[in-house]
Structure 1
Amino acid sequence: MPTYRDEVVVLRTHKLGEADRILTLLSRRNGKIRAVAKGVRRTSSKFGSRLEPFMVADVQLFKGRNLDIVQQAESLGSYGADIVVNYDRYTTASAMVETADRLNEAEATPQQYLLLVGGLRSLARGDHSERSVLDSYLLRAMALSGWAPGLTECARCGTVGDHPYFLAQLGGVVCSACAPAGSPRVARDTVDMLRALMAGEWETIDDAPGRTVAAASGLVAAYAQFHLERGIRSLTHLESHR
């Protein structure tokens, strides 16, 4: 049918002409969508504020030849309003939606949509530290895309154990026999933190000491950026503010 409805997260927007915007959306049922929202930059627009980055909306779209057209939009989560007023939340959310935008169409699944919505909701509420929300999101998003890091067995030989190395290029923790010469060792509590981030064990995450949080964050960033093949630009802004 030419008209359809879906739940979406607004990933990014671009100006088009004097009053329109092109939107990149991650939807619940239709993957990534590029659509035009006509007249949303006018002050008289009925739904322009519902289609800003980080917002979650129920939209009705008309199927176009190149770009779909937004016909209606009802807010499901006004997370952007609470995110943009805080620099750390804003840069964290920017890194999350940038990662979601990198997904191939086949990877833009309902699970990816729900994961992103949950992360943005947590950010807006201030439930946990911004960097831990991002780290947990990145690990889970990579896992849903088929790039889950090995955290309980050697990523090269499969030996189960608490291994002392973590190498992004090899896929996770690595045993002493498989680690290349000169590889830096990783503390056991850092690997435990990675496991907690992957599992969403927030009591453990929130109680972790700062050095463990920082060490785990560095490994998560390296792992995500290695498998995405390009740097996540928003992470640079987040790191420079720390």
Structure 2
Amino acid sequence: MKQYKTEAVILDTTDVFDADRSFLLFTRELGKVRARAKGVRKPTSKLTGHLLAYLPTALELVEGGSGLLIVQASVTGGAERSGRPYPSDPLLFMRQSEIIAEALNRLFIERDPHPVIYDGLVYVLGRLRELCEDRQSRKAVLLTAEFLLKCLAELGYRAELDRCVITEEPVTEQFVGWSSQAGGLLGETGYQQAAGAGIRLDSPRTVVLLRQFSRPEFMAERVNAAEAVENETIRVVYDYLQTQIGQPLKSL
């Protein structure tokens, strides 16, 4: 039997039989995988309290004929030291984490590792805990959208944010459009050629924010934009994400 030691974030769980539980994991070394913890729902299980949704966890896995089994687990990433793994505003944290988890499940195939995405996921979940603890809901929502835009870029779906995606001409502030189907910005001519497949953005500042979110470093907590611009940016990101996935996210 193969044995693995890996870091993972639990994206989803399903109860199996009387006491087992199946976990959908996003791991650093293996990518997205499913693993079962036997007897974990029993109060006496040594894994009880160590397999918590949306928290980074150090795992020992064994792979046998029936798939991966979790044999050891311990929460990491600072949550294990706090004595309280979830923030004082758990609903906001859970909502943003659920959106991320569903998106990752839809975007990534199993056994396809993306260490950069995993490291970003751990960072974002840690920051979400802090932001939700401080009740900074706007920053939490922005950070979630930024991370998902970075995930799309990692998979090769980087949006065109420098010129019209149809005409390849520069986009001016006088007219800024967007098409999730075409994959980026539209100038006025491109907007007309898109024949209803695009929208006109309310503010050119939305493009500035999208460009900032496309950088390697995380910018959501540093931006200073009007609420209307933030809202439009979030709408654009989620529309683009769902277009690439091919179906709506249930968690939105």
Look up the equivalent residue of 2:61 and give its one-letter code. L
1:124 is aligned, of 112, 126, 129, to 129
TM-score (norm. length: structure 2): 0.85
Q: How many residues align?
A: 234
2:101 is aligned, of 97, 104, 126, to 97
Query: Is 2:23 aligned against 1:5?
Result: no
Deviation at 1:155, TM superposition (A): 1.8
Rounded to whole Å, the distance in 2 between the matches of 1:106 and 1:32 is: 6
2:151 is aligned, of 118, 121, 141, to 141
Over residues 138-194 of structure 1, what are the superposed CA-to-partner deviations in whole Å (9 max), with x where a residue is unaligned? 100111111111111222233344461111011011122212256432121111111
Q: SS at the partner of 1:196?
A: helix
Q: SS at the partner of 1:220?
A: helix
Asked if 1 retains the 8 angstrom alpha-carbon contact of 2:142 and 2:220, the reply is no
Look up the equivalent residue of 1:175 and give its one-letter code. G
Matches within 5 A, 1:68-79: 68-77=68-77, 78=79
Query: Is 2:225 aligned against 1:208?
Result: yes
Deviates more, 1:145-154 or 1:39-48: 39-48
Asked if 2 retains the 8 angstrom alpha-carbon contact of 1:21 and 1:41, the reply is yes
Match of 2:39 in 1: 39
Rounded to whole Å, the distance in 1 between the matches of 2:89 and 2:219 is: 28
Matches within 5 A, 1:224-239: 224-235=241-252
Match of 2:176 in 1: 164
Deviation at 1:85, TM superposition (A): 4.7
Rounded to whole Å, the distance in 2 between the matches of 1:89 and 1:198 is: 23
Over residues 94-124 of structure 1, what are the superposed CA-to-partner deviations in whole Å (9 max), with x where a residue is unaligned? 0001111111237541112112111111101
Match of 2:200 in 1: 185
Rounded to whole Å, the distance in 2 between the matches of 1:55 and 1:15 is: 19
Asked if 2 retains the 8 angstrom alpha-carbon contact of 1:5 and 1:58, the reply is yes
Rounded to whole Å, the distance in 1 between the matches of 2:111 and 2:58 is: 22
CA 66–153 in structure 1, closer or farther in 2 if over 3 Å, else same: farther
Matches within 5 A, 1:18-37: 18-37=18-37
Deviating beyond 6 angstroms after TM superposition, the runs of 4 or more aligned structure 1 residues are: none
Over residues 6-46 of structure 1, what are the superposed CA-to-partner deviations in whole Å (9 max), with x where a residue is unaligned? 11111111101121100110110111111111121122222
Gaps of 5+ in 1: 236-242
Gaps of 5+ in 2: none
Match of 1:238 in 2: none
Asked if 2 retains the 8 angstrom alpha-carbon contact of 1:193 and 1:216, the reply is yes
Rounded to whole Å, the distance in 2 between the matches of 1:61 and 1:84 is: 32
Look up the equivalent residue of 2:242 and give its one-letter code. Q
Look up the equivalent residue of 1:141 and give its one-letter code. C
Rounded to whole Å, the distance in 2 between the matches of 1:84 and 1:19 is: 30
**Residue identity (%):** 26
